Structure 1
Amino acid sequence: MWFDALPLPALIAGFLIVAGVIAVVGVQLTGKADQLADETGIGEAITGAVLLGMATSLSGTVVSVTAALDGEASLAFSNAVGGIAAQTAFLALADMVYRKANLEHASADLANLYQASLLTLMLGLPLAAFTMPEVSVLGMHPVSFVLPVIYVAGVRIAARVRAAPMWYPVQTLYTRADRPDEAPEHARGPIPLLARFALLACVLGLAGWMMSKIGVQLSARLGISATVVGALMTAVATSLPELITTLAAVRRGAVQLAVGGIIGGNTFDVLFLTAADAGYREGSIYHAITTADLFWIAVGLVMTSILLIGLIVRERDGPGRIGVESTALLLIYGGAVTVQALAG
C-alpha cells in the first residue's frame, strides 16, 4: 500500500488533514440533522441518537473494520471503545459553551435517559465476552451477534418511549423544550435533506479509511502501542464530528440534539466491535485483545454512569458554572489519558 512509502512528516500531515476534513463535514451534518428532526417530526433526541449518531460514527466504524481486516485487533477494539470516553467528555465542553444552565438540566428528555441506559447495557457485553470461553460462530463471538439485535430493539423501544412516555421531566425556567424551527420557504421535504446527509456521511467513511491506514503506520513508525494509537489518536480524531456537532447544536439551542447525538453515537460505536469481529478472521476479536484495551471499556462505563446520574439529578449549576458531573467527566477522562500515556 502506498501509505507504507510515505515519510513520517507526510503521515502526520495526512493525519491532521483528514482530521480537519472530518471536523468540517461534521459541522455540515449538524444542520442537516436538526432540519431532518423538524421535517420528520421525530424529535431532536431520537434524531441525534440514531441518525446523527450513526453518521458521525461512520469514519470510526471504517477505522475499526479496516484495522480488523489488517489483523490489528487492538487498534480496531481500542478505536471503538476509546472514542466513547472521548465523546462523553465532549459533553462537559458543551456544558461550558451553554451558559444558561447546566446542559443536563436544560436537555431533560426521556429518550436521552433511555439511550444512556441502553449504552450501559451494551458496554457490559464486550467485557463479558472477554471473560467467557473463546467460542466463535462463523468466526465471530456470539456477543457480536447479540449487540446489533439489542441495538435495533433498543431503537424501536426508544421510538415507543417518545410516542407514549410513562413520565415527563419537570419543566423549569431553564428547561429547553424541543420545538421545531419555523420551516424556511424553500423547504422541499426530507428527501433532498437525506440525500445531502448521506453524501456527507460517505465523505466521513472515506476519511475513516484513510485514518485507519495512517494510524497503523504511525504506530509502527513512532514505536507506540496500537492501543494508544487507537484510543488516543484515531478515536479522538474520528470523534471530531461529535465534538463539532455537539458544540454547533448547543450554539443553535438544540440541546437535546447535542446530548442525544453523543449518547447515540456512543451506542452506535459499540457496534464497531461487531463489524470489527466480522473483519478479524483469526477468531474472536475479544480474545485477541489485551487487558489494556479493556481499560477503555471500564472508563466508558464509569463516564456513562456519571452522565446518567447527571441527567436524572438535573443540577442547575455547579463549579465554574458547569455541572458537578461535567467536572467529574473531565477529571476522569484526563486521568485515563494520563494513565494510558504512561502505560503505552
Structure 2
Amino acid sequence: MLTVWTTFLLLAAVIAFAGYWLSRFGDVIAERTGLSGSWIGLILLATVTSLPELVTGISAVRLENAPDLAVGDALGSCVFNLLLLSVVDFFHRPGCLFARAAEGHALSTGYSAVMLAIVGLNLSAPAAIAGLPLSPATLAIVPIYVLALRNIFTYERRRLLEPPEPAALRYPGVTLARAVTGYVAAATAVVAAGVMLPGAALDLATAMGWTTTFVGTLFLAAATSLPELVVTLSAVRIGALDMAVANLFGSNLFNMVVLAVDDAAYPGGPLLSQVSAAHGVTVLTALLMTGAATIGLIYRPTARPARAVSWVSLALVAAYALNAALLIDGLGRQGFSGG
C-alpha cells in the first residue's frame, strides 16, 4: 500500500512541477509573440493546464478500460477548479476576488453551465444512448465550445476588457526559442505522468477498496488539477487577477471538450452510458458552484467574513465538501466496491 501511495503522489508531483514550467514558458511565448493578455488565461494557460486531464482521460479509456476514472477526472477537475476560486480570493489581499474580477467572466461560467447540464442529461438516460456510437453530449460540446470562444472574444473586443499588461518584459533573459524548447519538455513530462497516472489510480482504488468513481472524482481530479493550482497562484502573485480567473473558467470549458475526446476514444460505446450514476452528483455540484460564482461576478460582494474570504468563496468550499461527503457516503453504501 505504501508503494501504491508513493507512486501516485510522485506522479502528481511530476505533473505539478512540470505544470509550473509549462505555464511559465507558455507565458513567455505569449509575451514574445504579442498574444492578447485576455487570452493568456482563457486559451493558452487553460488549454495547457488541462493537458493532464486530456492525457489521463485518454489513457484511462484506451489503456486501462476505466471509463469511470476518465469521467470522474474531468468532472471532478471542474469542481476542484471552482474550489480554487476560494484560494485565489484568500490570497488576493487587495480586495474580494468577485468584486475585482471582470464581469465578463460570467460569459464563461454561463457556457460552462450549459455544457455541464448537457452532460448531466446524458448521464440521467444511459439506456437511451446505449446503442449510439457517441454520446449526444459529445456532438454538442465541441460546437458549443467553439461558439463560447468566439462570443467571449467578441465581447472582450467590444468592451475592451483587456487585463493590464506590464510595461516591461517579465522575462527579459528568456528567448522565444528557449521558451518553446522548455515548453515542449514540460509538456512531455506532463504527458508521460498523465499516461501512467490512471494505472496508479486503479492500483490505489484496489489497495484501498475504493470505487474508481470515488478515486477519479477526488484524488485523480485533484492530481491533474495541480497545474491549475500552480498557475493560478503564480498569476495572483504577479497581480494578474483576471488571468488567474480566466485560467480556471477556461479550464472548465476545456474539460468538457476532454469528455468529448474521451468519448470518441472509448471503444466500448457511448462513454456516458457506461459510467456510474454517481457522477450526476458531481455534475449538480459543479452547476451549483458555477451558479454561485456567476452571482458573485455580477453582484460583486465586498464583505469578507473574518477578513478571510467572501461569502461566495465560503459557498464554494461548502459545496465542494458536500460533494465529497456524498461520494464518501455512496462509497460506504456500496460496501467499498463497484464502479
TM-score, reference length from structure 1 = 0.88
Q: Secondary structure at the match of 2:223?
A: helix
Give every structure 1 segment of 4 or more consecutive aligned residues whose post-TM-superposition deviation is greater than 6 Å. Answer: none
* Gap change, CA 1:311 and 1:157, over 3 Å in 2: same
Q: Secondary structure at the match of 1:272?
A: helix
Match of 1:122 among 111, 115, 126: 115
Gap runs ≥5 in structure 1: 1-7, 169-175
Match of 2:301?
Answer: 315
Match of 2:137?
Answer: 143
Match of 2:328?
Answer: 341
Match of 2:183?
Answer: 197
* Gap change, CA 1:20 and 1:73, over 3 Å in 2: same
* Gap change, CA 1:141 and 1:339, over 3 Å in 2: closer
Alignment pair present for 1:152 and 2:138? no
Verify the 8 A CA contact 2:78 2:255 in the aligned structure 1.
yes
Verify the 8 A CA contact 1:22 1:241 in the aligned structure 2.
yes
Match of 2:292 among 281, 287, 306: 306
Match of 1:270?
Answer: 256
Alignment RMSD: 2.1
Please give the alpha-carbon distance, in whole angstroms, between the structure 2 residues aligned to 1:195 and 1:118. 34
Q: How do residues 1-344 of structure 1 correspond to structure 2 at under 5 angstroms?
A: 8-69=1-62, 70-110=64-104, 112-132=105-125, 133-134=128-129, 139-165=133-159, 178-183=164-169, 185-186=172-173, 188-189=175-176, 192-321=178-307, 322-344=309-331
Please give the alpha-carbon distance, in whole angstroms, between the structure 1 residues aligned to 2:179 and 2:109. 28
Gap runs ≥5 in structure 2: 332-339
| Per-residue Cα deviation, 1:261-288 (whole angstroms, up to 9, x for no partner) | 1111111111121122122212111111
Please give the alpha-carbon distance, in whole angstroms, between the structure 2 residues aligned to 1:34 and 1:195. 13
User: 1:27 Cα deviation (Å)?
Assistant: 2.2
| Per-residue Cα deviation, 1:204-257 (whole angstroms, up to 9, x for no partner) | 121111111101121122211011110111111111111111111111111111
Match of 2:335?
Answer: none
Amino acid at match of 2:23: T
Please give the alpha-carbon distance, in whole angstroms, between the structure 2 residues aligned to 1:222 and 1:101. 42
Please give the alpha-carbon distance, in whole angstroms, between the structure 2 residues aligned to 1:109 and 1:40. 27
Verify the 8 A CA contact 1:19 1:238 in the aligned structure 2.
yes
User: 1:77 Cα deviation (Å)?
Assistant: 0.8
User: 1:123 Cα deviation (Å)?
Assistant: 0.9
User: 1:36 Cα deviation (Å)?
Assistant: 4.2
Amino acid at match of 1:327: L
| Per-residue Cα deviation, 1:155-177 (whole angstroms, up to 9, x for no partner) | 22222222222x86xxxxxxx95
User: 1:14 Cα deviation (Å)?
Assistant: 0.9
Q: Secondary structure at the match of 2:129?
A: coil
Verify the 8 A CA contact 1:98 1:250 in the aligned structure 2.
yes
Please give the alpha-carbon distance, in whole angstroms, between the structure 1 residues aligned to 2:261 and 2:131. 14
TM-score, reference length from structure 2 = 0.89
Amino acid at match of 2:323: A
User: 1:116 Cα deviation (Å)?
Assistant: 1.5
| Per-residue Cα deviation, 1:169-192 (whole angstroms, up to 9, x for no partner) | xxxxxxx95223412544645x65
Aligned residues, how many? Answer: 326
| Per-residue Cα deviation, 1:294-343 (whole angstroms, up to 9, x for no partner) | 11111111111111111112222321332111111011111211221222
Please give the alpha-carbon distance, in whole angstroms, between the structure 1 residues aligned to 2:49 and 2:322. 26
Comparing 66-75 with 323-332, greater Cα deviation is found at 66-75
